[in-house]
């Protein structure tokens, strides 16, 4: 990276911090909630893109990894005093009943546990390819959810865990997001990242170049799972409650949608599309309300119509931008400067600027 | 330098190699010629550890490398230019080349080798920021060879480098093979273009349905009547008269 670009990046991050400070002080809770969700979805989609888009492993187990992180935070950050109230059907298992952790410890442990479980299931599963891998990881994600539903003395079963201290404010979430993005960008631009992309492009050629396929697939899978766990932990602390139904496989499709839309293999595309999709789902909410113009009720506007419009938009995008918004390209400073130059050139040509 | 002894490989019950023995001495160009399905590619792939060897032994510089992982074999200095180029289409030329140097850490050396590859293939330097998938067939073949060279091989194995290329480009590929050889790299070459391969080879083997049926210096094979008839497209002189 050139020195000038480094300075620009630092300015960008500083600007983001100013924005967070402003948002924290002046924005209402609803807008803050949406911004927070966008950031958490960015982390989750990016970690999924690392596995799916950059390494080319079609994995659909993200909701499972996310659940592990979310439950880690849920189980261990609820204060011991109020646990009997949360676990009112069946008391918490005595081995963990007295363990309480600070949020950050539970968050990181959740990520690590998620990565460890990825390691365990990766050994058999990563030998599969394409659709088979997708089916196996999808099954895994469902298994996690069912285990959580049934391990009542640990997870409170289908009742979910309530009263999680909502420590994850906008600062927590955005700083975690920045760290995650920075880590994944550095990883992708390292020689490991090149190896991931080589595996995605052509496994046999990558292997012939001396890249250990299994080791790299595992690495990508575990790092992706780690950040999914982190994202899940933040999600739990943002909502203040976790419930097995939060982690249905539909959630994974949500992330898949974000990365397909943003571009498989593009970090900036994923970030943009995470914001567009998450915020879009909120903004389109007016479609769910009954609407009447001049006293005449428009018939289609009813709960659920939002998702219809959303699906339609998706179809249009997939039809006309097959590689998503960015494909495998990235927005970088070079591009922005060139865009500025081109704009200036046009104005020079048309005589506005000498 | 590289010795293959009694190698047999089978794909689910069908024997692709039925006990072949070849030797590649240091500082030579050795070629395997043969028709489709004779087992040429399988030989290279089993040396690289990409297919499982059923029986037999592969030794490299006195060390038994049968059954080692591909990455360990590459680290020892054997590299394959795979059949059909197989460049990474959505990565830039530069990234493709760096992946070739994946197992190496010495940044200075990598830089030097990159400069050497760019010298061998000036075209790649011009296009270093272009996606490999947008290159022409010949350029992709050059990239595949350059990528393999970036691992600093002692033995470079090439699987059909002239496949699907225009005659003029085939010629330049062969002259580059010779340049690489002059730089001290031992070469094991597979070709359907037997004529060109035998012209530059020190030693050649003829493979037929998984067995070696003939071997000799490049010149000997070029003059061999059977080879002429089967692979060089010339009629047997005896029958012509």
What is the pTM for the complete model shown?
Answer: 0.88
Å between B24 CA and nearest CA of chain A: 20
CA B37 vs. chain centroid, Å, equals: 16
Nearest to A211 among B71, B89, B91 (CB): B71
Does B105 reach chain A within 8 Å, measured CB to CB?
no
What pLDDT digit, counting tens, does each position of A223-264 carry? 999 999 999 999 999 999 999 998 988 888 889 889 988 888
Sorted by sequence, the CB contacts under 8 Å of residue A192 that are 6+ apart come out as A216, A219
CB contact under 8 A, B102 and A210: yes
Please say whether the beta carbons of B146 and B94 come within 8 A.
Answer: no
Sorted by sequence, the CB contacts under 8 Å of residue A198 that are 6+ apart come out as A205, A206, A209, A211, B88, B91, B99, B102
* Residue A91 confidence (pLDDT): 81
Of B48, B111, B98, nearest in space to B76 by CA: B48
Burial of B182 (0-12, 13-18, 19+ CB in 10 A): exposed
CB contact under 8 A, A198 and B87: no
Which residue(s) pair with B20 in the sheet? B7
3-state secondary structure of A194: helix
Please report, in angstroms and rounded to a whole number, the separation of the first and last CA atoms in chain B: 44
CB contact under 8 A, B102 and A211: yes
Does B87 reach chain A within 8 Å, measured CB to CB?
yes
- Interface probe with A: pick from B88, B89, B134, B157, most Cβ of A within 10 Å: B88
Q: Which chain A residues are within 8 Å of B89, Cβ to Cβ?
A: 201
Quote helix, strand, coil % in chain B, to nearest 5. Answer: 40, 25, 35
Q: How far is CA A198 from CA A241, B49, B99, B102, B229, in A?
A: 41, 19, 8, 11, 42
Query: What crossing angle do the helices spanning B167-182 and B137-149 adopt, rounded to 10°?
Result: 10
Distance CA A345, CA B64 (A): 65
* Residue B234 confidence (pLDDT): 65
Å between A183 CA and nearest CA of chain B: 20
Å between B161 CA and nearest CA of chain A: 15
Give percent above pLDDT 70 in chain A.
96
Of A237, A50, A232, A214, nearest in space to A141 by CA: A232
Does B50 reach chain A within 8 Å, measured CB to CB?
yes
- When mean pLDDT is compared across A65-79, A162-176, A338-352, the lowest value belongs to A338-352
Q: How far is CA B84 from CA A75, B102, B113, B133, in A?
A: 54, 21, 24, 13
HSE-CB for A341 with a 13 A CA cutoff? 6
* Residue B239 confidence (pLDDT): 47
Mean pLDDT across the stretch A339-354? 65
Does B89 reach chain A within 8 Å, measured CB to CB?
yes
Q: Which chain A residues are within 8 Å of B147, Cβ to Cβ?
A: 209
Distance CA A336, CA A325 (A): 16
Å between B196 CA and nearest CA of chain A: 26
Of B1, B53, B49, nearest in space to B22 by CA: B1
Distance CA B203, CA B200 (A): 9
Is A331's pLDDT higher than 70?
yes
Q: Which chain A residues are within 8 Å of B86, Cβ to Cβ?
A: 202, 204-205, 208
What pLDDT digit, counting tens, does each position of A92-138 carry? 888 887 888 899 999 999 999 999 999 999 999 998 888 899 999 99
Q: Which chain B residues are within 8 Å of A209, Cβ to Cβ?
A: 74, 79, 99-100, 102, 147-148, 151
Per-residue pLDDT of chain B in tens (241 residues, 90 and over written 9): 899 999 999 888 888 899 999 999 999 999 998 888 888 889 999 999 999 999 999 999 989 999 899 999 999 999 999 888 899 998 999 999 999 999 888 889 999 999 999 998 999 999 999 999 999 988 999 999 999 999 989 999 999 888 888 888 888 888 889 999 998 999 999 988 888 889 889 999 998 888 998 899 988 888 888 888 877 776 555 544 4
- ipTM of this predicted structure: 0.86
Which domains occur in chain A, in start order?
3-349 (1.10.3470)
Distance CA A209, CA A203 (A): 10
DSSP B142-186: HHHHHHHHTT--SEEEEE-TTTT--HHHHHHHHHHHHHHHHTT-E
Nearest to A212 among B69, B99, B151 (CB): B69
The model's confidence at residue A341, banded by pLDDT at 50, 70 and 90, is confident
Nearest to B74 among A204, A205, A209 (CB): A209
Does B169 reach chain A within 8 Å, measured CB to CB?
no
């Amino acid at each position: 990276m050139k020195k000038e670009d480094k300075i620009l990046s630092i300015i960008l991050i500083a600007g983001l911090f100013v924005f967070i400070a402003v948002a924290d002080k002046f924005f209402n809770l609803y807008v803050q909630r949406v911004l927070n969700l966008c950031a958490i979805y960015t982390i989750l989609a990016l970690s999924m893109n690392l596995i799916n888009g950059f390494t080319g492993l079609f994995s659909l187990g993200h909701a499972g990894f996310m659940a592990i992180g979310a439950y880690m935070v849920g189980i261990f950050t609820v204060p011991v005093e109020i646990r009997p109230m949360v676990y009112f059907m069946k008391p918490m298992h005595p081995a963990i009943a007295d363990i309480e952790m600070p949020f950050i410890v539970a968050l990181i442990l959740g990520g690590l546990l998620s990565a460890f479980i990825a390691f365990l299931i990766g050994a058999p599963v990563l030998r599969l390819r394409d659709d088979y891998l997708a089916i196996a990881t999808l099954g895994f994600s469902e298994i996690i959810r069912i285990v959580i539903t049934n391990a009542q003395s640990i997870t409170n079963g289908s009742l979910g865990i309530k009263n999680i201290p909502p420590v994850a404010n906008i600062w927590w979430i955005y700083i975690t997001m920045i760290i995650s993005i920075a880590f994944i960008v550095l990883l992708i631009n390292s020689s490991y990242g090149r190896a991931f992309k080589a595996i995605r492009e052509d496994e046999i050629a990558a292997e012939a170049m001396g890249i250990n396929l299994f080791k790299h697939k595992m690495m990508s899978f575990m790092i992706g799972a780690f950040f999914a766990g982190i994202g899940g932990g933040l999600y739990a602390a943002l909502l203040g409650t976790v419930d097995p139904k939060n982690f249905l496989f539909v959630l994974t499709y949500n992330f898949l949608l974000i990365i397909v839309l943003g571009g498989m293999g593009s970090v900036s595309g994923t970030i943009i599309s995470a914001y567009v999709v998450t915020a879009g789902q909120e903004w389109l909410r007016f479609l769910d309300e009954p609407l009447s113009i001049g006293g005449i009720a428009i018939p289609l506007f009813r709960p659920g119509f939002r998702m219809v419009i959303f699906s339609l938009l998706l179809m249009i995008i997939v039809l006309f931008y097959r590689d998503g918004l960015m494909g495998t390209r990235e927005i970088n400073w070079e591009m922005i400067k060139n865009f500025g130059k081109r704009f200036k050139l046009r104005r020079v040509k048309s005589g506005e600027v000498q | 330098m590289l010795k293959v002894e009694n190698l047999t490989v089978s794909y689910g019950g069908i024997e692709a190699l039925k006990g072949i023995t070849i030797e590649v001495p240091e500082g030579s160009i050795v070629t395997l010629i043969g028709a489709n399905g004779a087992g040429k590619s399988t030989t290279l792939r089993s040396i690289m550890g990409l297919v499982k060897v059923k029986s037999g032994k592969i030794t490299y510089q006195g060390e038994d490398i049968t059954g080692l992982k591909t990455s360990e074999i590459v680290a020892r200095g054997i590299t394959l230019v795979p059949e059909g180029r197989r460049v990474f289409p959505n990565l830039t030329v530069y990234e493709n080349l760096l992946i070739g140097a994946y197992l190496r850490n010495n940044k200075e050396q990598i830089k030097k080798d990159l400069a050497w590859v760019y010298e061998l293939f000036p075209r790649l330097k011009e296009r270093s920021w272009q996606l490999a998938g947008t290159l022409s067939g010949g350029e992709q073949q050059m990239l595949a060879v350059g990528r393999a060279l970036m691992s600093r091989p002692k033995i470079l194995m090439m699987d059909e480098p002239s496949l699907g290329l225009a005659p003029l480009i085939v010629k330049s590929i062969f002259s580059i093979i010779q340049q690489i050889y002059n730089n001290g790299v031992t070469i094991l070459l597979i070709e359907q273009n037997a004529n060109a391969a035998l012209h530059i080879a020190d030693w050649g083997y003829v493979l037929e349905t998984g067995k070696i049926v003939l071997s000799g210096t490049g010149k000997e094979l070029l003059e061999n009547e059977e080879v002429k008839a089967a692979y060089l497209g010339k009629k047997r002189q005896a029958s012509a008269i």
